[in-house]
């Protein structure tokens, strides 16, 4: 039997040493590569680490909390004007529109730079290990240039005839103006949204007050029915019905409180603040309804609404695009001049000027210019139709807002009359209760009806304010007027 240890390796000692050296060399080469690979993987894992996103979330949360604390320094009730001011300062949509306006202004300035001359400077340093020489004279060599050369060149060029440049600048100027109108329209829409949410929160607050009175009336009725049940005057299901009435009104109150909390969170979000913050609103009706005939209001909306200004600028931009398409048929002329300095001593003139003119004219490009011009004309027609559609939309919005405001005025008048009736009924009911002619639950029911009428009146006022804000928004007036009209005086 052969010895297995003797057959373990058939390599010679020299070959084994060479193999060991190769393995050591591979391990030495692999270790740095492995280290680099692990470092790269660690960096990649760090960039995708969840802790990074957690840190960003915490930073945003801290920033939002700090911004909320600065905007709401105390617990004083906020007026509508305060809410609008905070929203215009912190709302993300307003900030985005302002950034777009600045970008459009910068792009207009970039387009204006096409009218100005452009100056370029180029410096080159070249060195050879041996000075380049030529052997054109047989055994004698002649130097071709110095062993090291420094070249400096100044180049200036300016368009002399480039019609598309003028139209391109006009297009960017119109785009900047349109961005300004978009910013103003965004601010007006945020203002309207804040007004709607503000009065919605106030309406929910008034509803809660009426629900509290209704709960008290239901509790008093439950006590009376419980007493009647002990005397056997009513059945058990009638007493249980009173308990169900109390539970139903408490449930309605809790749902109204949750709805108010949600409305306040939405208002805070629109204001750019933390929805978790607590906010207190002052019940006010500062907006004054615009006066005038419907035709006059429609004319005002057609002349001041930012939507129409945006549509006008879009038409102007498309017309400039059509002019640019026409300019592609015209030649372009460019003038240039350059000054070159070199350190090569073998050149006779080391400094020299170069100047000239360059013209470009597209003779045939597969009818691309023709089709671009036709497409540009169609874009002008499309923009014109869009503007006409915007005019029709503004007219319909004005009519709708005007009629909604008329309905709000009538509902406000009706609410005032209903409150007058409920107040007189409660006065008579309270007088009869003091004389012992009616039960306490009847008095509380009359009081609850009075509070309900007051809530309806408050909601009618808030609805009238929302309708006024909507009409002012369509008219392009935005948030204007804090005077309390005469028809909003307290009874």
CA angle 254, 260, 261 (to 5 degrees): 90
Distances in whole angstroms, Cα of residue 416 to Cα of each of 275, 286, 317, 369, 462: 35, 19, 53, 69, 13
Q: How many CA atoms lie within 13 A of 46 on its CB side?
A: 6
Express each pLDDT in 126-176 by its tens digit: 999 888 887 766 677 788 888 899 999 999 988 888 888 889 999 999 999
d(CA 291, CA 63): 44
- Predicted local confidence at residue 40, as pLDDT: 52
CA-wise closest residue to 264 among 203, 216, 220: 203
Per-residue pLDDT averaged across 339-347, rounded? 87
The DSSP call for residue 153 is E
d(CA 241, CA 221): 10
- Binned at pLDDT 50, 70 and 90, residue 181 comes out as very high
For the record, the structure tokens of 342 come out as 């070199």
298, 471 contact by CB (below 8 A)? no
- Predicted local confidence at residue 95, as pLDDT: 93
109, 169 contact by CB (below 8 A)? no
Q: pLDDT above 70 covers what percent of the chain?
A: 85
Other C-beta atoms lying within 10 Å of the C-beta of residue 10 = 7
pTM equals 0.77
What is the residue-averaged pLDDT of the chain? 83
106, 179 contact by CB (below 8 A)? no
- Predicted local confidence at residue 36, as pLDDT: 52
Flag the least confident range among 8-22, 330-344, 473-487.
8-22
Compute CA 172 distance to the chain's CA centroid, rounded to the nearest angstrom: 22
For the record, the structure tokens of 144 come out as 């071709």
- Predicted local confidence at residue 94, as pLDDT: 92
- Predicted local confidence at residue 114, as pLDDT: 86
- Predicted local confidence at residue 65, as pLDDT: 86
Task: State the residue for tokens 């019905």.
Answer: 241
76, 130 contact by CB (below 8 A)? no
DSSP labels for 362-382? Answer: -S-STTHHHHHHHHHHHHHHH
d(CA 115, CA 119): 13
Per-residue pLDDT averaged across 83-87, rounded? 92
Domains defined for the chain, CATH in brackets: 80-123+149-488 (1.20.1600.10)
């Amino acid at each position: 039997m052969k010895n297995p240890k003797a057959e373990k390796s058939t390599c010679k000692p020299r070959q084994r040493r060479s193999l060991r050296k190769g393995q050591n060399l591979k391990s030495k080469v692999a270790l740095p590569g492995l280290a680099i690979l692990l470092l790269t993987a660690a960096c990649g894992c760090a960039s995708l680490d969840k802790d990074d996103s957690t840190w960003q979330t915490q930073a945003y949360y801290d920033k939002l909390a700090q911004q909320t604390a600065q905007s709401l320094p105390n617990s004083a009730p906020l007026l509508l004007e305060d809410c609008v001011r905070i929203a215009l300062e912190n709302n993300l949509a307003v900030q985005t529109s302002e950034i777009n306006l600045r970008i459009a202004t910068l792009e207009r300035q970039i387009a204006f730079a096409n009218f100005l001359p452009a100056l370029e400077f180029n410096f080159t340093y070249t060195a050879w290990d041996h000075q380049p020489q030529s052997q054109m004279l047989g055994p004698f060599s002649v130097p071709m240039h110095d062993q090291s050369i420094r070249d400096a060149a100044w180049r200036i060029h300016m368009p002399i005839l480039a019609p598309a440049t003028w139209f391109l600048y006009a297009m960017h100027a119109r785009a900047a103006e349109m961005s300004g109108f978009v910013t103003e329209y965004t601010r007006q829409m945020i203002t309207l949204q804040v007004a709607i949410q503000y009065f919605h929160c106030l309406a929910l607050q008034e509803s809660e007050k009426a629900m509290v009175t209704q709960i008290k009336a239901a509790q008093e009725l439950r006590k009376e029915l419980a007493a009647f049940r002990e005397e056997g005057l009513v059945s058990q299901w009638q007493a249980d019905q009173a308990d169900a009435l109390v539970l139903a009104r408490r449930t309605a109150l809790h749902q109204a409180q949750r709805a108010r909390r949600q409305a306040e969170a939405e208002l805070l979000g629109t204001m750019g603040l933390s929805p978790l913050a607590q906010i207190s609103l002052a019940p006010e009706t500062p907006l004054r309804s615009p006066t005038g005939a419907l035709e006059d209001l429609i004319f005002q909306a057609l002349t001041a609404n930012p939507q129409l200004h945006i549509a006008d600028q879009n038409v102007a931009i498309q017309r400039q695009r059509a002019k640019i398409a026409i300019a592609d048929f015209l030649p372009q002329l460019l003038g240039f001049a350059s000054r070159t300095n070199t350190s090569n001593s073998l050149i006779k003139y080391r400094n020299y000027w170069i100047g000239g003119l360059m013209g470009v004219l597209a003779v045939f490009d597969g009818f691309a210019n023709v089709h671009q011009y036709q497409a540009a004309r169609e874009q002008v027609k499309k923009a014109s139709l869009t503007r006409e559609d915007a005019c029709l939309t503004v007219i319909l919005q004005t009519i709708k807002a005007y009629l909604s405001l008329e309905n709000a005025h009538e509902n406000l008048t009706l609410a005032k009359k209903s409150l007058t009736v409920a107040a007189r009924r409660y006065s008579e009911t309270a007088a009869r209760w003091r004389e012992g002619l009616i039960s306490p639950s009847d008095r509380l029911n009359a009081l609850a009806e009075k509070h309900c009428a007051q809530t309806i009146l408050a909601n009618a006022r808030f609805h009238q304010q929302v309708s006024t804000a909507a009409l002012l928004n369509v008219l392009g007036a935005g948030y204007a007027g804090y005077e309390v009209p005469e028809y909003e005086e307290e009874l």
